[in-house]
A = this chain, B = another copy of it.
């Protein structure tokens, strides 16, 4: 059996989650290749060494270009902030490495296009974007049920991603709230998941959008020079330059409307990605705060016993679940990272692209940009060129 050696570039929160995926997947699944956690890369050598020690990478390094150039590296996992995704991922693809790139694919459509082109041009290597929620078993199963036809023709979708960590106006300014670093706010960070999940489960592209993005708290306290923020403010407050909330309507390739919302001001909602797909035969609904279950309404059932069925997606017959625990045993957030690794490794061995392609990452980026354009045009509808069913 071949051995695939991984280099992970970056080691923040996502580095921790990806490390769990690399560590767990080979233990829980029967993968068609051996996987080695070879090297973790960070600009500061001591921090990278500490990350390697903590998460079990064989070694650490500080120059990602050197690592990408190494012959003993097969896979490059990019978990840096979005502004460096394009440079690293394209370089890795050109060096003949398989690439897993954390979402969002990039901070702009231009970068994402270059990445998608690089992925298309790189023969024999796989490129995957890490929309991990696709591989929550209930979400994968939702997609499978739609593909099987249980909702019939899709007539309406409702998708939202709601958090509340910015409700307090005295929460300090951070780099995530500055456009030059983060690119976007709630829209790009969590709205991207709502868009991708919609396109993934319906199999339909968002072809146009109309919407509004807005910054609710426009100034926040500065924490001082050491905060890593751009600029300073004499009065101790700095400008928030990304959106806090995005509310928009999308149109799918089949004509159905989608109501979207992404917000960091939904008091009490901690990490609530929700989607409900309504069709002629039924409906399916998912809530990330209850991630082991899926709600299914079957309009073809006898009239007196229709209702939303809460399916615990924890049985051996459900996607990915048989590798884990017996019936009714809950999975958590990080399991998606193992599933992502499993599918990537299988794709590499099979020579097929696992879903979450760079083209799909680009499609999300185009929708995000269109929302910003629409918001700047009094929320008028904006078409997304080239949007076609997946």
Contact = CB atoms under 8 A, between A and B. Distances in A.
Interface of A: 13, 17, 19-20, 23-24, 27, 54-56, 141, 145, 151, 155-156, 158, 163-165, 167-169, 210-212, 214, 216, 245, 247, 249, 256-257, 259, 261, 263, 265-272, 276, 278-280, 282-283, 288-293, 296-297, 299, 303-312, 314-315, 317-318, 324-335, 377-381
Total identical chains: 4
B329 A333 contact: yes
B210 A270 contact: no
Contact of A381 (B168, B310, B379): B379
A162 to B, nearest CB: 8
A270 B314 contact: yes
Nearest to A158: B261
A257 B307 CA distance: 29
Which interface residue of A164, A288, A293 has the most chain B CB atoms within 10 A? A164
A167 B329 contact: no
A288 to B, nearest CB: 8
The 6 A-B pairs with the shortest beta carbon distances in the complex, nearest first, are: A270-B328, A271-B328, A268-B297, A332-B332, A267-B283, A307-B311
Nearest to A217: B155
A88 B304 CA distance: 40
B19 A27 contact: yes
Contacts of A379: 210, 249, 379-381
Contacts of A249: 211-212, 247, 379
A293 B289 CA distance: 10
Contacts of A272: 328
Contacts of A165: 327
A296 B304 contact: no
Contacts of A17: 325
Nearest to A249: B247
Contacts of A296: 305, 307
B308 A268 contact: yes
A257 B379 CA distance: 13
A257 B214 contact: yes
A221 to B, nearest CB: 15
Contacts of A278: 164, 167, 265-268
Given A263-B156, A265-B155, A326 B13 contact: yes
A145 B332 CA distance: 24
Contacts of A380: 377-380
Contacts of A328: 163, 269-272, 289
Contacts of A56: 27
B303 A315 contact: yes
Report which residue of A267, A310, A318, A334 has the largest number of chain B beta carbons within 10 angstroms of its beta carbon. Answer: A267
